[in-house]
A and B are shown apart, each in its own frame.
Chain A
Amino acid sequence: MTELSEKLQQLIEKQNAGELKAKDRYEIPAQEMPTQDGGQRRGNMNEVALGYTKIQARLEAMRCLQCKNAPCVEGCPVRIRIRDFVIAIAKGEDEEALAIVKENSLLPAVCGRVCPQEVQCQERCTVGKKFKDPEKSVSIGRLERYVADLAKADSKAPKVASPTGKKVAIIGSGPGGIVVAADVRRAGHEVTVFEAFHKPGGVLVYGIPEFRLPKSIVQEEIDVLKKMGIEIVCNFIVGRTRTIKELMEEDGYDAVYIGVGAGLPKFMNIDGEHLVGVYSANEYLTRANLMKAYQFGKGADTPIAVSKNVAVLGGGNVAMDSARMAVRLGAENVYLVYRRSEKEMPARIEEVHHAKEEGVQFRTLQNPKRILGDEQGNVTGMECLKYELGEPDDSGRCRPVAIGGSEFMMDVDTVIVAIGNGANPLIEQTTPGLEFNKWGNIVVDENCKTSLQAVYAGGDIVLGAATVILAMGQGRIAAAAMNSYLAE
C-alpha cells in the first residue's frame, strides 16, 4: 500500500507542476478491482466487487489522457461528462466529480456497477485503443461507482419546485420509472409510482442478484424518491387493479409513464421443458433474490430446487447471474451452455470472469435438443448437440450451426432457461388505442410519447431487452417531454 501511495504522491507532484505526460499516464498500471476471494464467495450472497480505495481511484483517474474530443462521452447513452469527472477525481476533488456525474445520471451507484462499459463508454476510450485492449481502457464505470458510493451517507433529495397541481402516474418502479419519477417531481408535479411487486426497484431487486448489486443501494434511491414526496404504491397492477384509462379519467392523473419492463420469459420449445426442475431465469432469480429462497427454512418461506448439477442456457448477463446464483445455492456442478463461442457472449466481460472464478463450467458451441425426466417428472438429464460457427447473421454475429449426429448426454437435475424475454401482454390487453409493434413492444416517438394523448413509455417494454442505462436515458427524455407537455 505504501508503495502505491508513494507512487501516487510522485504523480500528484508532477500533475500539480503540469508535467504529467501521456507517457507517464500510460505507465500507470490499470487498477484491478478488489474482490472477495473466489472460493469464499461461492458460499455467500455478499457483493463480489469491493470498490476502489481512494488511492486506487486517483491512480486510475490519472491514466485518463484528458482527450480534447473525449470520445468516451459519445459511448455513454446519457452523455455523462466523463473526462471532466475523471479529471476531478485525479485532482482529489471527489465531490466535484460526483456533482458532474449526477448532472446526467441519477443512479450512478447502479450504473457504475452494472453498465456494460466495455461496449459503451470504455469501448471508445483512447487509452484502450492505444493498448488495443478495451479492458485496458480507463475504468470509467469503476470510477463512477467510487464517487457514487462516497455520496451514500448524506445523499440528499433534489429540490422540488412549488406545486403545479398536476398529477403524474408512473407504472413500474424499475430504473426507468425511478428516473421519470424524480425528474417529473422536480418540476413540482404530484407523482405516484405504481408497482406490481411488494418491493420497488424492478429488475434491480428481483433480477440482478445481491452479490452484484446490493439491495441497500436500490433502497437508498427509493428512499430519495420518498423524501422528495413521491408516493410509491406497491401491490398495484395497472391493467388489473386499475386500468390506464381509469387512472386518467377517474383518478385525475394528467399524464402517465409506462415502464413495465419486459417480463414474459421465452422458452426453447423443446421436449421436456415442462418438467419439474426446469426454470425460466426470471423464476429462478425472483425466487432467490426477491423472495430470499436462499434463506428457505431459516426465515424465508419460498422454496427453490436443491440441485446437484445445473445447466444454464444462454450467454447474457441473465445467464451469468443464474449460474452464479446456482453456485451459491450449493450446486456441485454448474454448466453454462451456449450455442456460440465465448467471444459472442453478450454478457459483461467482468461477469464472465467472475463466473469462471467461481467455478462455473463453460460449455460453448453446445445447445440442448431435449430434456429428459423420470416418472415423477423430475429432470434427469439433457441431450445436447454440438455446434460450429457459420456465416455472420443479421446481428453481425456468427450463426451457430448444429453438427449432425453430435448428440451427447449431460447429467443434470436442474435446467435454467435464460434466452431472453418477450413483452408482457398485460398493458396491451387492457389499454385500447395504445399502439404496439409486432413483438408486443410499445411504439413511441423521439420524445418517448405513445399513440395515446399524455401517455409516455420507455425502457424494456419499448426497446425489448435493453440495459439499465438505456432505460434511464429514455426515462430522462420522457420526463422532459412530460414536463413540457404539463407546462402547456
Chain B
Amino acid sequence: MSFNVLSNQKLSENVFQMDVEAPLVARSRKAGQFVIISVDENAGERIPLTISGANPDKGSIRLIYQRVGKATAQMAQLGVGDALGYIVGPLGMPTHIEKFGTVVCVGGGIGGAPLLPIATALKEAGNTIISILGARNQELLILEDDFRAVSDELIVLTDDGSHGRKGLVTEPLKEVCSRNPKPDCAIAIGPAIMMKFCCETTKEFNVPTQVSLNTIMVDGTGMCGCCRVEVGGETKFVCVDGPEFDGHKVNFEQMMKRMGAYKALEQKALENFKDHKCRVGLKK
C-alpha cells in the first residue's frame, strides 16, 4: 500500500494541509479520531495527527499540521508524487456525538484542525454551535471560513489584535458561559495551557467540557503507556481511552511536563535537519 500525497498546501506561516491516500482509514474513521504517520518507513518517528477530514470515495484523508519539529518539517517539504512512509489508524475513541443543545467549540491555533470535524458532526446532530477561534496572530489563524460555515455564531481573536478581537479565547468563553441560558457543554482543543485555562473558566459555570489531549505517543494501540495521563486520579492512556476526556478532571500540569520530555533532543534533531537542508541547497 502506498500513502501517496495528493496535495500539500500552506495554510499559514507554519500550518499546512495535506490530502493523502489512505483508503482504509478514510472508510472507517469517525470525528475525533487520529492516525499515526511516519515520513520514513524505516527510521522515521511515529507522530499522531488528527484526521481533520476524509473522502472515502477518493480514498483520501486530510491532515492539518503545524511545523514544529523534524517530522512535521519533513512533511511540509513533500508534494504530489511523494508518499508518506506509512499511516495507521483510525486510532482513539470517536467523539461522542449527540444533541446536547448549545455547544461552545473553542479552537486554539492548530487545535482548530481537530475541532472542525467535531463541530461539523455536532452541527449535523442538530446542535447550536458557538465557535471561538484564537491564534497568536493573523498569520497563524486557520480554517476561519470553514468554521463560519458550520457555526451559528463565530468569535475570532488574535493575541496581538492583528485580526478579529484582541485577546485570549478564555475571555469570550467566559462571556458565552455567563449568558442565560448558559451553553449545555463545551469542547476545547488547542495547546495544553489553553485547554487548562478554558477548563478553569467553564468549571466556574459548571459547563461540562471535553478536551482532546495531544500527548507524546509511540504505538497508539495501548501497548507502551507513553501517552498516559491522570484523569480524575486514575491513569488513562490517551491513545485508547481518549484522546477526548472530561477536561475538568485532567491533570494538565503533569501532562505538560510529560510533553516536554524530549524537547532538547528534538530541538537538536530539527537543527541538524535544517543544517543538512542548507547544505543540500548549496550543492544545487
B257 within 8 A of A: yes
A279 CA to B45 CA in the complex, in Å? 18
Q: Which residues in A have their C-beta under 8 angstroms from that of B1?
A: 233, 235
Complex contact B257–A301 (CB within 8 A)? no
Which residue in chain A gives the minimum CB-CB distance to B235?
A267
Complex contact A241–B86 (CB within 8 A)? no
Complex contact A237–B223 (CB within 8 A)? no
Interface residues of A: mostly helix, strand, loop or mixed?
loop
Which residue in chain B gives the minimum CB-CB distance to A197?
B219
Q: Among B46, B85, B272, find the residue whose CB has the most chain A CB atoms closer than 10 A.
A: B46
Complex contact A282–B86 (CB within 8 A)? no
Which residue in chain B gives the minimum CB-CB distance to A280?
B225
A353 CA to B281 CA in the complex, in Å? 52
Complex contact B89–A240 (CB within 8 A)? yes
Q: How large is the interface on A (under 10, 10 to 19, 20 to 34, 35 or more residues)?
A: 35 or more
Complex contact B91–A237 (CB within 8 A)? yes
Interface residues of B: mostly helix, strand, loop or mixed?
mixed
Q: Which residues in A have their C-beta under 8 angstroms from that of B219?
A: 196-197, 286
Neighbour of A301 across the interface among B25, B229, B261, B269, CB < 8 A: B269
A198 CA to B44 CA in the complex, in Å? 11
Complex contact A424–B221 (CB within 8 A)? yes
Q: Which residues in B have their C-beta under 8 angstroms from that of A280?
A: 224-226
Which residue in chain B gives the minimum CB-CB distance to A299?
B43
A409 within 8 A of B: no
Complex contact A282–B225 (CB within 8 A)? yes
Complex contact B41–A276 (CB within 8 A)? no
Q: Which residues in A have their C-beta under 8 angstroms from that of B46?
A: 291, 302
Q: Which residues in A have their C-beta under 8 angstroms from that of B230?
A: 274
User: Which residues from 186 to 211 on chain A have a C-beta closer than 8 Å to any C-beta of chain B?
Assistant: 196-198
B83 within 8 A of A: no
Complex contact B90–A241 (CB within 8 A)? yes
Complex contact A237–B89 (CB within 8 A)? yes
Tell me the minimal C-beta distance from B263 to chain A in angstroms.
10
Which residue in chain B gives the minimum CB-CB distance to A234?
B86
Complex contact B221–A265 (CB within 8 A)? no
Neighbour of B224 across the interface among A240, A283, A300, CB < 8 A: A283
A306 CA to B44 CA in the complex, in Å? 19
Complex contact B257–A276 (CB within 8 A)? yes
User: Which residues from 44 to 82 on chain B have a C-beta closer than 8 Å to any C-beta of chain A?
Assistant: 44-46, 70-71
A34 within 8 A of B: no
A242 within 8 A of B: yes
What 0/1 pattern do residues 271 to 310 of A give for CB contact below 8 A with B? 0011111011011001100011001110111110110000
Which residue in chain B gives the minimum CB-CB distance to A283?
B224
A60 CA to B224 CA in the complex, in Å? 41
B232 within 8 A of A: no
A235 CA to B251 CA in the complex, in Å? 31
Complex contact A198–B38 (CB within 8 A)? yes
A241 CA to B269 CA in the complex, in Å? 32
Complex contact A263–B24 (CB within 8 A)? no
Tell me the minimal C-beta distance from A208 to chain B in angstroms.
15
Tell me the minimal C-beta distance from A244 to chain B in angstroms.
13
Neighbour of B218 across the interface among A276, A287, A292, A377, CB < 8 A: A287
Complex contact A240–B28 (CB within 8 A)? yes
Q: Which residues in B have their C-beta under 8 angstroms from that of A287?
A: 218
Q: Which residues in A have their C-beta under 8 angstroms from that of B257?
A: 275-276, 376-377
Given known pairs A283-B224, A286-B219, A291-B46, the reply for A198 and B41 (CB within 8 Å) is: yes
Given known pairs A283-B218, A291-B46, A425-B240, the reply for A276 and B223 (CB within 8 Å) is: no
What 6 A-B pairs come out closest when comparing CB atoms? Answer: A377-B257, A283-B224, A301-B45, A280-B225, A235-B88, A303-B265
Binding site for B on A (CB under 8 A): 196-198, 233-237, 240-242, 263-265, 267, 269, 273-277, 279-280, 282-283, 286-287, 291-292, 295-297, 299-303, 305-306, 376-377, 424-426
17 A-B pairs in the complex with CB atoms less than 8 angstroms apart: A196-B221, A233-B1, A236-B88, A240-B91, A264-B222, A264-B225, A267-B225, A273-B235, A274-B228, A282-B225, A286-B223, A286-B224, A299-B43, A301-B43, A301-B269, A303-B262, A303-B265
